[in-house]
A and B are shown apart, each in its own frame.
Chain A
Amino acid sequence: MTTPRRQIKLGAFLMATGHHVASWRHPDAQADGGINVAHYRKVVETAEKAKFDLVFVADSPAGWPRAKDREAQQRSSQGAHFEPLTLWSALSQVTSHIGFVATASTTYEDPYLLARRFASLDHLSGGRAAWNVVTTGADVSHNFQIAGHPAHADRYARAEEFVDLVLDLWDSHEDGAFPRDKDSGIYVDLDRVHQLNHKGTHFSVRGPLNVPRPVQGHPVVVQAGASEPGRRLAARTAEMIFTANQTLEDAQAFYADVKRRLPAYGRSPDQLLIVPGIFPVLGGTEAEAQRNHEEIQNLIHPAIAWEILTRHYQGRDLSGYSLDDRAPPLPESTELNKSRLTLVSDLVSRGNLTLRQLYLAVAGARGHREVVGTPEQIADAMQQWFENGAADAFNIMPPVLPRGLDDFVAEVVPILRRRGLFREEYEGPTLRENLGLQRPENRFAARRGISAAE
């Protein structure tokens, strides 16, 4: 008997009309995708038909940062989009195997309410829910009752406590806590229902949850920040980490660093999957792929270009510059999204980019890896990272939807299959089974000395 070959896991990272900032203007895009549930349904069905592990949407509890420039503001397609947990609740009903990753903020949400919604989604989907834990990089405090956006370190301190609380709430009823015995009249076994009585720095929560334990025990926990506190949080609590790396070397260094941290928390390296994003621009030939890329880059209006640049320079006045001037150094420290800024800075210093090259470099994948080429070249790029300690899985980031995912599924997935790198069939009905992640033991049962095998 041979051990099954390690295979790539695939996520479809969906932006309404595609990842490229101008995607909504592209003839192959569903221009109103952000508020068109039929569009999302079609895209998710495509991903499920191709046996993707999961679909994923990013989120922020605010309008996307509003440009000061009205020209740019009204050209942005990102101001109107579904709330992720409701969107996935609906689509979980018309699919059977694909996992649903919803992003939700530990800074701007409440642990009891959020634990309930994810537990509920996990029940609704039959064990296919995952939570992408974010602390929210952008300052959206103006929509909430807190005095200003918390500093990076404070957000992560709150996130550590928040995640533990949510895990405890999901465990507040043990598996098998519900005899629901009509004859005796006993509905629940009180010995298997637990109050948390948590009193911490940021929260005090009594519990228990009023939703029974999720099908997966816990929805899969995902983390997406690559800063030092982000890596610590991921190493301790996450089962997938969504990351942005430009080069094999950077990706390998990140991969090794995160995996190295796991034993300190009593975890093995296969309990945390590393998932870089990849933005594939396909063509029948390399030249055609380049033309496809140029076609969409040319749809970026100058007002949007300057808006992107202003955001990366954190509001600095760039009026003395033209797009063909060399990009000045980017600001060094930020309390916002740390890991992404470092990455763009590296691009600037590595490539001596002009401002035009800088905005073109981030307009598509916002710092994720872009691969422009033939299906073979894209499969090669994935295989190289997968087999060289840089990735366990990929988030595919279609530049334009639905076309970008249709093309990837039709042209790249068969190559990965031919090479034995991607599944023919789902391993099981839950996201954990497909990702090869264990169903977690109940924390309270463990404390009572009851093994998960019981």
Chain B
Amino acid sequence: MTQRQLHLNLFVYPGGHHEAGWRYHGSDPDRVVDISYYQELARKAEAAKFDALFFADGPALADNIRYASRFRLEPLTTITALAAVTQRIGLIATASTTYSEPYNLARLFASVDHISNGRVGWNIVTTGAAQAAQNFGLDAHPDHGDRYGRAHEFLEVVTKLWDSWQDDALVIDPQTGIFADDDKIHEINHVGAHFRVRGPLNLSRSPQGRPVYVQAGSSEDGRHFAALHAEAIFTAHQNLRNAQDFYADIKARLRGIGRNPDHLKVLPGISPYIGSTTAEAEALHDEFNDLTQPAYSLGVLRRMTGLELSGHDLDGPFPRHLIAPDPDRAEASRFKLVLDIVDREKPTIRQLLHRIAGARGHWVTVGTPEKIADDIQTWFENGAADGFNVMPPWLHGGFDAFVDHVLPILRKRGLFRHDYQGQTLRDHFGLPRPDSLYATETKRSA
């Protein structure tokens, strides 16, 4: 039996994941909307045999833009552009179930899956940022529970649309003049609380059947959603224990509903600061923290916790007692994560700002390539991860360091592939290709 292997995605964030990464001397902030910048990254990640590139997204501009790189290209058009210049690497784009029409979104993803020959994944988000509502004519951002209610139905609709053409619906016989077998193309006739969609899709079934379903929220609603639908889950944990608890919980939920636990890959984020010695790595990390700007960092903290701390002594203790209970926020996974750091580490305000500056609450590791590889291996072999979203502090250099120094160690230990074994993202992740819902129906009635 072959050894279980890591799955690795490159999580592309404009300018890098550290909030001040764009200010680092090795970064290239002027190229954040230049597609050649992403082409280079995609080619590097493909040469390194990464599973996928991943792009986050939200349909609004953040409020806190003055000091940070918050502008970006739209992810679906971007990954399609990258599909044209790569052959094997997976391409995962984020899109919102709260602010998209299911028919339009289903078309876009099906189209990219065709164009990329089966390499697309959809990071399903309900959109946490409240300011998005104001770009879509809503008085208020729907609350957490409502967003997930809509998300469940949204997923049901797009799944039916992706399945509406059976795999063998196309005939394309110029002699007889039959183009498609109408019995294998189905109106979905969906009528639900949020959506009414007739279908079918105007595109035949795509190479992967459906895009890979990715989910990224770790709240109770998010976990429930992931257990039902997701094939990969992107998650943020600060330490092994929390990551193990999450991993065990999610896999147990799958078993509980009769899903194969291997069919959901748990992929925490990891933001590595790599140096040839520990001291060098720590100096690098310090250099990034010195580039942070409190006016920006305090805004990030405000969004995560609701606390406005400008005017406080940054070197004084974090005022834990000021955090008000907020039922909506209490469900948000990132809020819990910050509270957990506060309760465990009792940081000053500045220390907390630095803790979240690296990767917005994701796991930051600092050390030699061996140390980073050890960390990865520990989580991977101790029930905390099936792989990782690699989140370089800055681009491209932060990614180069990982590929050049950490990846060879992981390979030497037999933990990561030397070459792709398949063509599609499902192949890379070891996920089955789903049958069309309607194929099963046809079989049953036959």
A199 CB to nearest B CB, Å? 9
Given contacts A79-B180, A86-B112, contact A93 B84 (CB under 8 A): yes
Q: B65, B76, B200: which contacts A188 (Cβ < 8 A)?
A: B65
A123 with B33, Cβ < 8 A, contacts A61-B107, A90-B81 known? yes
Pairwise interchain contact A108-B60, C-beta atoms closer than 8 A: no
A151 at the interface (CB under 8 A from B): no
Residue of B131, B174, B178 ringed by the most chain A CB atoms within 10 A: B174
B96: nearest residue on chain A (CB-CB)?
A113
Residues in chain A near residue B69, CB distance under 8 A? 180, 187
Whether A37 lies near B202 (C-beta < 8 A) is: no
Tell me whether A74 and B33 are in contact in the complex, defined as CB-CB below 8 angstroms, given that A62-B202, A193-B65 are known contacts. no
A86 CA to B59 CA in the complex, in Å? 18
> B196 within 8 Å of A by Cβ?
yes
Contact indicator B134/A119 (Cβ below 8 Å): no
Q: Which residues from A are CB-within-8-Å of B185?
A: 79
Mark interface residues in A431-454 (1 if CB within 8 Å of B CB, else 0).
000000000000000000000000
Segment of A6-14, A204-212, A262-270, A391-399 engaged in the interface with chain B: A204-212
Q: Which residues of chain A have C-beta atoms less than 8 A from B171's C-beta?
A: 74
Question: Which stretch (B98-106, B276-284, B310-318, B402-410) binds chain A?
Answer: B98-106
* Chain A residue nearest in CB terms to B120: A86
Whether the Cβ atoms of A83 and B111 lie closer than 8 Å is: yes
B30 within 8 A of A: yes
B108 to chain A, nearest CB (A): 5
**Least Cβ–Cβ distance between B229 and chain A, in angstroms:** 21
Q: Is B440 an interface residue (CB 8 A)?
A: no
Instruction: Choose among A32, A123, A210 the residue that contacts B35 (Cβ–Cβ < 8 A).
Output: A123
A426 at the interface (CB under 8 A from B): no
B259 at the interface (CB under 8 A from A): no
Closest Cβ of chain A: how far from B55's Cβ, in Å? 11
B203 touches which of A35, A113, A143, A210 (Cβ 8 Å): A35
> Quick one: which of B108-156 are within 8 Å of A by CB?
108, 110-112, 114-115, 131, 134-137
| Size range of the chain B interface in the assembly | 35 or more
Q: Does any Cβ of A come within 8 Å of B364's Cβ?
A: no
- Cβ B103 vs Cβ A211 within 8 A: no
Q: How far does the alpha carbon of A29 sit from the alpha carbon of B135 in the complex, in Å?
A: 44
The answer to whether the Cβ of B322 comes within 8 Å of any Cβ in the partner chain is no
The residues of A that contact B59 with a CB separation of less than 8 Å are 112-113, 116, 210
A124–B22 CB distance below 8 A: no
Within 8 A of A (CB), among B162-187: 165, 170-172, 174, 177-182, 185
Whether the pair A81, B33 counts as a contact (CB closer than 8 A) is no
Contact among B20, B35, B111, B165 for A82, CB-based, below 8 A: B111
Residue of A nearest to B103 (CB): A143
Contact with A185, one of B34, B136, B204, B293 (Cβ below 8 angstroms): B293
Interchain CB contact under 8 A, B135 and A205: yes
User: Given the known A-B contacts A32-B170, A82-B111, A186-B67, are A90 and B74 also in contact in the complex, defined by CB atoms under 8 Å?
Assistant: no
Q: Is A109 part of the binding interface, using a Cβ–Cβ cutoff of 8 Å?
A: yes
Q: Are B178 and A74 in contact (CB under 8 A)?
A: yes
- With beta carbons under 8 angstroms apart, the residue of A25, A74, A143, A210 that contacts B61 is A210
Q: Which residues of A contact B89 (CB under 8 A)?
A: none
Which B58-89 residues have C-beta < 8 A from chain A? 58-62, 65-74, 76-78, 80-85
Task: Report whether A86 and B108 are in contact in the complex, using a CB–CB cutoff of 8 Å.
Answer: yes
- Interface: A417 (CB within 8 A): no
Which A residues are in CB contact (< 8 Å) with B65? Answer: 187-188, 190, 193
Question: Is B371 an interface position by the 8 A CB rule?
Answer: no
Q: Which residues on the B side are within 8 Å of A91 (C-beta)?
A: 84
Interface residues of B in 22-40 (CB under 8 A from A): 22-25, 29-30, 33-35, 39
Contacts of B80 in A (CB 8 A): 86-87, 89-90
Contact of A124 with B111 in the complex, beta carbons under 8 Å: no
A80/B66 in contact, CB under 8 A: no
Instruction: Report the Cα distance A182→B185, complex, angstroms.
Output: 55
How far does the Cβ of A15 sit from chain B's closest Cβ, in whole Å?
14
Contact B172 A82, beta carbon cutoff 8 Å: no
B202, A64: Cβ atoms closer than 8 Å: yes
- Determine the chain A residues whose CB is within 8 A of the CB of B103 once the complex forms: 61-62, 108, 143-144
Return chain B residues, CB-CB under 8 Å to A73.
Answer: 182
Bound CA span A239–B264, Å: 49
Would A124 and B174 count as touching, CB distance under 8 A? no
A407 to B104, CA, bound (A): 36
Give which listed residue, A63, A86, A212, contacts B111 with CB less than 8 A: A86
> Can you list, as one digit per residue, whether each of A142-155 has a CB less than 8 Å from chain B (1) or not (0)?
11110000000000
Q: Which residue of A lies closest to B73 (CB)?
A: A120
CB of A81 within 8 A of CB of B202, answer yes
B93 to chain A, nearest CB (A): 10
Question: What CA separation (Å) do A87 and B84 show in the bound complex?
Answer: 10
Chain B residues lying within 8 Å of A87, measured Cβ to Cβ, are 80, 111, 115
Q: Are A31 and B172 in contact (CB under 8 A)?
A: yes
Q: Are B81 and A124 in contact (CB under 8 A)?
A: yes
Q: Within A1-56, which residues are at the interface with B (CB < 8 Å)?
A: 22, 24-27, 29, 31-32, 35, 37
Q: Could you list 27 A-B pairs, sorted by A, with CB under 8 Å? A: A25-B174, A61-B202, A63-B201, A79-B185, A81-B202, A86-B80, A86-B112, A87-B111, A89-B77, A89-B80, A109-B101, A112-B59, A113-B59, A116-B74, A117-B74, A143-B103, A143-B197, A180-B30, A185-B23, A187-B65, A188-B71, A190-B66, A203-B137, A204-B137, A205-B135, A205-B137, A211-B33
